[in-house]
Structure 1
């Protein structure tokens, strides 16, 4: 019931309003390439998570794909790769996102750090991460996380939590923890994707909702570290 409220208030979420008291991002502050700017902001977020401890999971990244019907699908993963080629993540290739990418490789990803009033958006296409890079990352994962990758038939239904835990126990028995990098092999169905962007937007929150949005748009074939392959423009908030 909406007793005592007009129809215009129905469904409205009551929440405190905050003015975004950020430093913003001016053109003269922007680094020369999208990679340099993205790396600066990611490093800042990681450092703040360790010092101020108000940025939880600084590498959390929203990943948007489209399904066979053209309907958007979004979920959150952890960014595990970032270099001049673009940001990347790991996943089961047989998951919903893996199937959607295989059918249509267009993708958008976003990193958001509310306490810092910052966000980065990448739009482009997905490419597979080289198997050698996947193996190197796989070997850095804790044993339990490697077992989880074998356990989960990602995106598929599961009966109960107990079913999932029993499947985990079976995989743990199959690949016991020996303290070796090779005690759990990389599953054939597991890998990674990297976004090769055509557009990278840097958002910086400012007071009165007059936020800064500076966008690198691809004008050449170079990577994120090639300044000549990108033009910069400002968008209204």
Structure 2
């Protein structure tokens, strides 16, 4: 569809005043349904409604929803991953929802589109989906799955509370087409963490494009879109 001006940017939407001692920024939205898509505005047709970014983190940057490109309908999340010479070594661009459904999701799926990929001297640049279950284990406040969709061939970090799953293990993403992904969330928690988060476990889900270890003075310019997202029980 033809390009159109982006809607005025909003800060993170109002959410319940909750949070946890380990993550005071966590504000999950209660979901009543046990099946179907737990996300609000999963196809971005209502602009930024329901979506946020981690505006409390120095590493995060805002997102846009516009009509530049869409897999279905008119709009998609538009992530312009821009690293200027003076910018921090790490920057994360993405869209986020925090949810508290009665059952833990079985599947996450959707489409992403890489329009431009110029990571420059950044040692790591990649597209990933992250699920953070607020499910403590000993000293760990949460247990994460990090799904690398594209951009790197090895786990970007060694984190005690995160396990990596590679959807594509390649340094150069395929450009210029919508790529489907489907993630077996419960199966991967069982395989990598030994169990599935109990029903009622709240979680944060993040659809990202990011870079890490960018030398001062270098630049990054990647452009990624997300659309037709699903988090729930089919």
**TM-score, with length taken from structure 1:** 0.26
Larger radius of gyration: 1
Which of the two has greater helix per residue? 1
TM-score when normalising by structure 2: 0.26
Higher relative contact order (CA 8 A, sep 6+): 2
